[in-house]
Structures are given as C-alpha cells and as structure tokens.
Amino acid sequence: MNEGQYFDRKSARIKPKDAVKHIIAFANADGGTLVIGIEDDGDLSGTNYQGAHKIEEYQMAIQQDILGQPSVSYEKLSYDHNGELDYLFLIHVDLSANYLIKNRSEEVYLRIGDKSLKQTYSQIQRLEYAKGERLFEDNLVTGAQLSDLDEDLLSEYKMHLNCSDLSNQQVLEARGFMHQGQLTTAAILMFGKNPSYYFPQARLRFLRYEGVSRETGSRMNIVKDQTFDGPIPTIIRQAHSAVSAQLREFQFLGDDGRFKIVPEYPEFAWFEGIVNAVVHRDYSLRGDYIRVSMFDDRLEIFSPGGLPNIVTLENMRYTRYARNPRIARALVSFGWVRELNEGVNRIYDEMADFYLNAPEYSQPHPYALQLKLENNYPSRQLRLDDRVDDLEKKLNMDEFNENERKILAYLYGNGQITVKIASETIEMSDATARKLLRGLVEKDVLSWHGNSKKDPKQYYTINVD
C-alpha cells in the first residue's frame, strides 16, 4: 500500500516519541493505520533486529505521551524473515470525533494526504471549532436493525476491503458503522435499504432547465426532474446516469483535418462535484437536499451545509477535512473519493484542459455550498452567429426556418453532419432532424453520402463553398 490519508509505515528504528505524532494526526483527521516494521521503500525490515525499538515501547509512548487518549487497537502480523519469525506491528487509530488530540507539549498534528502536519495556533483553534461538526454520522439510529441494510452493497464493500469472509457485523463494527450492537447514521446512509425512512433529507434532485435561467409559473422551463433517495452508493450511480443522459457532445474540425467530438463538460469535473456534495453535505440539516441543476450554459451543484471551520473558499483546493469521515473513507474503498485532496485540484485542471472557465465555488447562504461549472455555450453561439452571417452572403437565408439555419451554420463551420449531431444541434428528435436534412437535400443545398439508408456511417455535406 502507498502512504496516504489513512495509512503510514515506518521502520522500527523510529523513536516511539516520533511515532506518536502520526497517531495524533490520524486521530485528529479521519483515523488510519500506522505500521511499524516497513522501510520507506516498502521493504519489510520487521521489528526483530538489533537497533529496533520494542513493540511495548510504542504502546507505552502512546499511553504516556498523548493527551486526550485516542481510541487505538493493536495487531501483530507474523511472517518469515530470512528463515526467522518476525513481526509487523499495526496500530489502528480511530478518529477523535469530540475533542482534539495533543502531545505532552500541547502540539497538535493533522493528517493531510500522506503527511502528518503540525498545526499553528490559528489552525488549532479552527480544528477545535470543527470538532463539534463531526457528531451526526456517529449518532446511533434507534430501532435500526442489520436487516435494514442492503446485503448486496455490504457484500460489494467487503469485497473492496478484501474481507468477504467476515460477517457484516464484524466489518461494520471495525469501520465504526456500528457501536455496541447498534447501527449509526453513517451505516444507514451508506448501506440502508431505505435511508429516507430515517433521514428524509438524504436525497439528491436532478433538474434540467431549458435555457439559461429558472422560470416560474406559465414560463416554467423544467424539462427533466428526477429525485434519488437510496443509499449513498446508489445515489451516486443514479446521478451519474441521469447527468450523462443529458450532456451534449460537440463536433469540430481539428487542425489535422479530422472531426473531433468534445463533451460539454469533462466527466471528472461534474462527477467529482456530485460525489463531494454527497460525501460532505451536512446530513443533520433537515428540510434541504442536494440539487444538481443543468442549464444550457452551466451546471450547478448545491450541497446543504457550510464549509467546516478549517476550510474556506480560499484554501479549499489545498485543505482536506471531512465532515463525514466514516462515509468518506468507505467511498475511498469504492474508488469514488480522492485522497491527497486530488479531487478539487483536478476539477480545476480538467476544466482548464477543456479551455473552460475555472470552477466557481460559492456559499449561497452560510449553511450551503455551491459549485458552478460553465460550458462554452456563449462562444459556440457567437461562432454560430458568425457562420450565419457568412452564409447569408452566399444563400438567401430567409428561405430557411430556424432549425434549418442552425444545421446550415453547423455544416458551414464543420464540413459534415450526421442525423445524431443534427438532432443535438437543433435539440429535437432524430426523426425531425432526418426530415429536415432530407428536405435540404431536395432543395439541392445539401448532399447525402452513404451506401444505403441504413448505413451507420451516412452523413451530409453542404453544397456551398
């Protein structure tokens, strides 16, 4: 395993007092495991050699050198080391939800990515404030039973953890989803068959608007409205399918003379935005829910819950702090949550790679966060208008209706068009697009190319130089 948010490894030569800072850092963040007996390059050096500190010394340092004792458990893994029995010493650290963990010198460390970083006075203050926000997902859900959980999701989770041989209860207890035989809020949100029974606010609504603004009354312009309210992994998958089905693709002629297709937004950017909203929203806020709103020119992802006190709009690209660390850690196992704060940074990078405006984070009010992704609809429209102007010099455009004008403008700028691209250009059905294209062929404005009417590669070109 690579070192990361939840895992670190050290040689047994590390002084116990120096190992303590990593225990503190894990406890103040999302929990994790420190392994003693592995070198920085990954070689197993074990704990049974001259110069190695004894396992008992590390246990003693944790007991004596840490204030506000974290919840830790120990594990010894035996293995054959050059013909002799040797051990790795694993220290499993649970997150400290209610209070800050410090060392004897009142120093505080926080795990950020693969580093255990010492915190400044102001950072410590913000952490102390933020600790009060880490309670809700650990609340016990009165009356909830193991039978309320989705067996298939639990089996998938155990497969990702490589522990399919363990019982559901063992895994849930080990990962903090169950305490003293009772399920937590995080367990119901992650694996519940019907989380909305306990938490009606735990849902995501997807809205597709026609145009660039929200209209009401007789001008209501919602063309798609879907609500998803299952367990978190199911919500993520359903939201991905819903948004994917509404995204447009655009074709252009590249410098190499080949036609290229570009999606409306980079997939990573919008999907990461949705995952972050689901993972980091404040589930204690009733009466509000996640909203993904798609307009012609932008995508907005609204998440209930302000930023944790340690995170600001200015530092969020470089600061990681999970409001729901157990849920976040579980979704790392599913492969949806990024460590090292890679996710937010990569959203910026992906948008830049697509020559789109930088993502915009804002707080519509103190208890909400919104991400806005803009596409290049306005510039596409400007190019369309430019092409229409050029065409008007070559054709009498008054002879064509609005949709025919759009098709002609696209062809004038791109060279060829298919029925599918035409339907996306005019935002109407394939049948309507096909009829328009055939009509333009009859007017001798377009030429059809193909071997038969069922040829999947058939296309049209414009008869204007």
Domain range for 436 is 378-462
* Residue found under tokens 């120990």: 74
Across 380-409, average pLDDT: 68
Confidence of residue 126 (pLDDT cuts 50, 70, 90): confident
- DSSP code string of 420-461: HHHHHHHTS-HHHHHHHHHHHHHTTSEEEE-SSTT-TT-EEE
* pLDDT tens digits, 435-447: 999 999 998 889 9
> Which of these three, 354, 375, 396, is where a domain ends?
375
10 Å CB burial of residue 1 (0-12, 13-18, 19+) is exposed
Task: Kindly report the CATH number assigned to the domain that includes residue 425.
Answer: 1.10.10.10
Q: Which of 45-49, 93-97, 402-406 has the lowest mean pLDDT?
A: 402-406
59 forms beta bridges with none
Residue 384 neighbours by CB under 8 Å, 6+ apart: 406, 409, 410, 413
Pair (181, 229) in one structural domain: no
Same domain, 159 and 290: no
Radius of gyration in angstroms for the set of CA atoms belonging to the chain, rounded to a whole number: 28
Q: How many CA atoms lie within 13 A of 196 on its CB side?
A: 14
For the stretch 141-198, pLDDT in tens is 999 999 999 999 999 999 999 999 999 999 999 999 999 899 999 999 999 999 999 9
Q: Is residue 198 part of a domain?
A: no
Task: State what percent of residues in the chain have pLDDT above 90.
Answer: 56
| 328-348 per-residue burial string, b: 16 or more CB within 10 A, e: under 16 | bbbbbbbebbbbebebbebbe
How does DSSP classify residue 150? -
Residue 251: predicted pLDDT: 57
Nearest-angstrom CA–CA distance, 287 and 213 = 24
Distance separating alpha carbons of residues 289 and 307, to the nearest angstrom = 16
As a whole number, the mean pLDDT across the chain is 87
User: Using one digit for the tens of pLDDT, what is the confidence trace for 193-249?
Assistant: 999 999 999 999 999 998 889 988 878 889 999 999 999 999 999 999 999 999 887
Domain boundary among 321, 353, 375: 375
Same domain, 231 and 366: yes
Asked if 400 and 394 touch (Cβ cutoff 8 Å), the reply is: no
pLDDT recorded at residue 378: 57
Q: Based on the domain organization, do 11 and 78 belong to the same domain? A: yes
Nearest in space to 7 (alpha carbons), one of 28, 33, 26: 33
pTM assigned to the model: 0.68
Residues sharing a CB contact under 8 Å with residue 417, sequence separation 6 or more, in sequence order? 407, 410, 411, 425, 437, 459, 460
Instruction: Express each pLDDT in 32-84 by its tens digit.
Output: 999 999 998 899 999 999 999 999 999 999 999 998 888 999 999 999 998 99
- Domain end residue (candidates: 326, 349, 375): 375
